[in-house]
């Protein structure tokens, strides 16, 4: 069952808070909201890997070591490029920060935020 829009916003806020409080732990968990998979990287990387395999086979059949090595390097570069994530800092969020949208917060959310802030102050 998919999350509601409100739950998605709360989850995004919690993720941002985690990245601000403990970026090392957040990076180890692997959920960096600023990094996304790119279809273009995937397509170009796969094409480079296929070209590298072709060069490798040509190098083996013609017994030219330099062509085979070049094919291997191109193939490895293509795989690396295909699995690389790109940084897209422009997400759809507002620059004013969480809680600064036009509508007022509910008292339930306000009390949760106050309790969260108290915990953070106690830990510091």
Distance CA 56, CA 73 (A): 9
Q: Give pLDDT, residue 28.
A: 67
List pLDDT tens digits, range 104-117.
Answer: 556 777 777 888 88
Rounded (10°) angle between helices 65-83 and 39-61: 170
Tens-place pLDDT, residues 26-63: 666 664 455 567 788 889 999 999 999 999 999 999 99
Contact 73, 81 (CB under 8 A): no
**Residue 122 to residue 84: CA distance in whole angstroms:** 40
């Amino acid at each position: 069952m998919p999350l509601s829009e409100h739950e998605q916003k709360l989850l995004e806020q919690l993720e941002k808070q985690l990245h601000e409080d403990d970026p090392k732990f957040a990076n180890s968990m692997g959920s960096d909201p600023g990094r996304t998979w790119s279809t273009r990287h995937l397509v170009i990387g796969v094409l480079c890997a296929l070209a590298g395999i072709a060069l490798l086979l040509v190098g083996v059949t013609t017994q030219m070591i330099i062509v085979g090595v070049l094919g291997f390097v191109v193939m490895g570069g293509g795989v690396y490029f295909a699995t690389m994530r790109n940084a897209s800092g422009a997400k759809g969020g507002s620059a004013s920060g969480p809680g600064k949208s036009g509508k007022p917060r509910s008292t339930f959310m306000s009390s949760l935020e106050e309790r969260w802030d108290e915990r953070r102050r106690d830990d510091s």
